[in-house]
């Protein structure tokens, strides 16, 4: 797939020389790439390559040992607290499994960011929540609790919460994990719908080939042994023409089988 013709070439995210570590153990080093505004961009790779670690650094849950993350040209990594908080409000995150508060209704879950970060009166917040639930196909489910929903519906509710503040960027952490193929396909279709309707930049951590080839404009592939990026570009072009055997193996594998890093 190609990015939308009217996509702005300005980068939504720029990662420069990022080093991610846990204590003395270096997980990633020298990671550099950029995500264009309006792209559906995937971070891919085998088990243990650092995909989720990279995501945690991109959204500010961990600080990199070295390097810089910039959003629309603004330094996120080294920003002062007030500037950092302002940048945090420009993106939303759909965590694995939806990460909803089980003791709160869907309405309360989606309303939480609005309560924390806006001055909207309750009536206006309720209207926004209803709109966001409708956008993800959950109109009328505001009074339901997460435990009363299927896994796919929980992911949709998590996406509604991620969209509550109308973010410029939405991050997805393994959105299809644990879902059946039909539900995964419907979630991919919803991602495309949100992208087409809102023009949101979307970054997805995933190893699911159906999603990668179905909706990704571009990908960056991480490798555990290399501790960094080994490929970047259109996934179909990489599958058919990469000169790296690990890239070809990953992208030509049987769907559902994730090769361990370091395999030949």
Quote the pLDDT of residue 39: 95
Which of 196, 177, 176 is CA-nearest to residue 186?
Answer: 176
Quote the pLDDT of residue 162: 94
In angstroms, rounded to a whole number, what is the distance separating the alpha carbons of residues 238 and 233? 7
Quote the pLDDT of residue 262: 44
- Could you tell me the domains of the chain? 7-90+168-254 (3.40.50.300), 98-166 (no CATH)
CA 253 to chain centre: 23
CA 260 to chain centre: 22
Quote the pLDDT of residue 127: 96
Ranges of residues in the chain whose predicted pLDDT is under 50: 4-8, 261-264
Quote the pLDDT of residue 9: 55
The pTM is what?
0.88
């Amino acid at each position: 797939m190609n990015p939308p013709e009217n996509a702005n070439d300005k980068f939504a995210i720029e990662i420069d020389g990022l080093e991610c570590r846990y204590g003395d153990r270096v997980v990633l080093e020298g990671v550099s790439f950029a995500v264009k505004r309006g792209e559906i961009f995937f971070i891919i790779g085998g088990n243990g390559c650092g995909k989720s670690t990279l995501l945690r650094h991109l959204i500010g849950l961990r600080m990199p040992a070295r390097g810089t993350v910039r959003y629309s040209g603004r330094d996120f990594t080294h920003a002062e607290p007030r500037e950092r908080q302002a940048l945090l409000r420009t993106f939303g995150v759909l965590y694995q499994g939806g990460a909803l508060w089980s003791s709160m209704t869907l309405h309360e879950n989606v309303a939480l960011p609005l309560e924390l970060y806006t001055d909207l009166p309750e009536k206006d917040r309720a209207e926004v929540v209803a709109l966001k639930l409708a956008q993800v196909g959950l109109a009328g489910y505001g009074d339901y609790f997460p435990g009363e929903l299927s896994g796919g519906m929980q992911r949709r509710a998590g996406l509604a919460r991620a969209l509550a503040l109308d973010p410029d960027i939405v991050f997805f952490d393994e959105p299809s994990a644990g879902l059946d193929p039909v539900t995964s396909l419907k979630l991919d279709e919803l991602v495309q719908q949100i992208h087409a309707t809102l023009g949101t930049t979307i970054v997805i951590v995933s190893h699911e080939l159906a999603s990668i080839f179905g909706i990704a404009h571009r990908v960056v592939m991480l490798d555990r042994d290399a501790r960094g990026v080994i490929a970047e570009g259109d996934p179909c072009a990489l599958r058919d023409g990469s000169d790296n055997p690990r890239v070809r193996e990953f992208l030509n594998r049987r769907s559902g089988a994730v090769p361990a890093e370091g395999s030949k």
